[in-house]
Amino acid sequence: MDKQTAQKMETFDTEAESEITSSFQDLSFTSSTVSISLCSSSSDVSVSNSSNLSNGAAASEAKESEKTGLSFDPNEASFRSSYPSKPHKGNDLRWDAIQCVKGKDGDLGLGLGHFRLLKKLGVGDIGSVYLAELREMGCLFAMKVMDKGVLAGRKKLLRAQTEREILGLLDHPFLPTLYSHLETDKLSCLLMEFCCGGDLHILRQRQPGKHFSEQAARFYASEVLLALEYLHMMGVVYRDLKPENVLVREDGHIMLSDFDLSLRCCVSPTLVQSSSTEPSCRISSYCIEPPCIDPACKLPVCVEPPCLQPSCFKPRFFYSKTTKVKIEKPNLANSDSRPVLIAEPTTARSMSFVGTHEYLAPEIIRGDGHGSAVDWWTFGIFLYELLLGRTPFKGNGNRETLFNVVGQPLKYPEGSSVSFATKDLIRALLIKDPQKRLGFKSGATEIKQHPFFENVNWALIRSTHPPEIPKPVDLSSLNLAFKSALARNDEGATDSDRLSGKLSVVL
């Protein structure tokens, strides 16, 4: 981030926090805030110092709810039918809590005053994200706050609008839920799910050697791949995949974030019978052990230069006269009898220069125009970084990095223990010509059939045990830090100073 951009973001934070100060009536902690859950369907993520504190908080919240009339029973059938939620969020109590407030006060009644800001979580290009608690409900949310004046001055209003529209479309286990959109004269706020596990960049730094094992990388890459497949099916090219934008939920599964660089486009998802598809859609089209046993084999990993489509192979592989192949042929036909979903927006085109330098696709740097294939390039960079702790084309500066992306071949550090199948997948994803890149024609359908994902049960992926489960949020320590800082600020301060002090501590 250059100096001018940093100054603009500093101005944004100052103006936004000034507006938030006037919008939030009470930012102080009470005893009830020591025991707060993420409002999930699980009962074991609530945070408390002791049973007495928890019971006291519950009693306090019960009294307050009785006054305001905002109490609800999420298991009550009549309540759940009154506030229809998105199918994948049918058991999400955060959604129910928001709908309860809206049902009580109406959509116009839900505003910043219903929330208590607890902590600043991060700063992005078009706004800041805060940890916010829905009052009386004890639910935590991530609130993205954007200053309209700053966005207009930086010509970012369209990006903010695009992100809001995309979030409103999404209904997927590995993508965020937009619970509500709040507006004031100066601020635009998006209310989304809070992920207590941080992001994959932070999590990677904690691993031995600062990189994930191949098994862990496969888990995270599988879920990211399904999220990208859904986005492409909805006509969205993500364009900003990196570990910093992959958040970890309380259950250890992932959630993509930040859609302000995404591209909206047209797409026509279709189901194609496997009998009418190219044989390249079959997983057995790869040689996962070099060298190839059959000298006549023309698989992409066995041929130099690689064939035009990384997943293609010669039909002679199935018409070989060997007994083994003859036996396997009927089984392959039976296993491929189901239709295949093709949902790739191959006609999407953009000339924008957007993304992170180390993740930019060559076609973006060259100014050739780009489409959905940029997401498969970034997916390859993403997988490389998870496994090796760095990106493959990083230079001493941004200029050298861009030169390496366009002109340098893919290399691995000496002594790396990455498997051959993994290297083959990354190689196929990082082909510099987008039309020859794996995923260009059929998207995630091609990529999921690579041997790297051979043991992934796509239908039951949410039942897979994550490599790491985040610790519950400990708001009691945040409460102590807040009170001690607040006591220091109160010494000799005016009422105006006290409110400003509370804001600086909480945010």
Straight-line distance from the first to the last Cα atom of the chain, in angstroms, rounded to the nearest whole number: 22
Token pair belonging to 220: 């995270």
471, 45 Cβ separation under 8 angstroms: no
Residue 55 one-letter amino acid:
N
- The one-character DSSP state at 3 is H
Catalytic residues: 240
127, 144 Cβ separation under 8 angstroms: yes
Backbone angles phi, psi at 202, to 5 degrees: -65, -45
Q: Which residue has the tokens 């905002």?
A: 70
Nearest alpha carbon to residue 104 among 125, 133, 134: 134
Backbone angles phi, psi at 88, to 5 degrees: -75, -5
371, 434 Cβ separation under 8 angstroms: yes
40, 156 Cβ separation under 8 angstroms: no
Beta strands in 155-262 (DSSP E): 180-183, 187-193, 236-237, 246-248, 254-256
Q: How many CB atoms lie within 10 A of CB 315?
A: 9
d(CA 314, CA 20): 63
Q: Which residue has the tokens 């109490």?
A: 71
Backbone angles phi, psi at 423, to 5 degrees: -60, -40
Nearest alpha carbon to residue 257 among 342, 144, 148: 144
How far, CA to CA in Å, does 348 sit from each of 229, 323, 342, 434, 467?
Answer: 15, 45, 15, 13, 35
d(CA 167, CA 259): 8
d(CA 125, CA 460): 36
Q: Which residue has the tokens 């990354």?
A: 426
The helix (run of H) or strand (run of E) holding residue 248 is strand 246-248
| Contacts of residue 292, Cβ cutoff 8 Å, sequence gap at least 6 | 299, 301, 302
24, 115 Cβ separation under 8 angstroms: yes
Nearest alpha carbon to residue 176 among 250, 82, 236, 247: 247
70, 136 Cβ separation under 8 angstroms: yes
d(CA 269, CA 72): 40
The neighbouring-strand residues paired with 140 are 133
